[in-house]
Amino acid sequence: MRRSIVMLLLAVLVVSGCKPAPPTYTLYRNSRLNQNARVHMATFDTNDPGNGSGTYNEENCAMIAALLTETMDAARDPIAPVHYWCEPGRYRPQ
């Protein structure tokens, strides 16, 4: 009986065309006080396939990093600039 249930669930998964979720990306920034700091800002881990390319989370993370960088560049603090960047995967402390 259990074997039948497992086989049925596997068949449903195969027929439904389950696709893996897009890879997760995490947005980080440095600190004005410590240019080598790696401060967690956001994690992009939606299951939305976007345009189907599998880069939905990566593209959104990169877009936000670019917008924040542009905003901080406009503030023009040359002494202690803040940089934003994306890394694949979930947040990992240093």
The residue assigned the tokens 């992009």 is: 44
What is the maximal distance between C-alpha atoms in the chain? 69
Query: What are the tens digits of pLDDT across the range 8-18?
Result: 555 555 545 55
40 assigned to some structural domain: yes
Query: What are the tens digits of pLDDT across the range 69-78?
Result: 888 877 776 6
3 assigned to some structural domain: no
Domain of 61, in residue numbers:
20-88
5 assigned to some structural domain: no
60 assigned to some structural domain: yes
Q: What is the domain count for the chain?
A: 1
pTM here is 0.71
6 assigned to some structural domain: no
User: And the tokens for 22?
Assistant: 């897009």
DSSP notation for 48-66: --TTTTS-HHHHHHHHHHH
84 assigned to some structural domain: yes
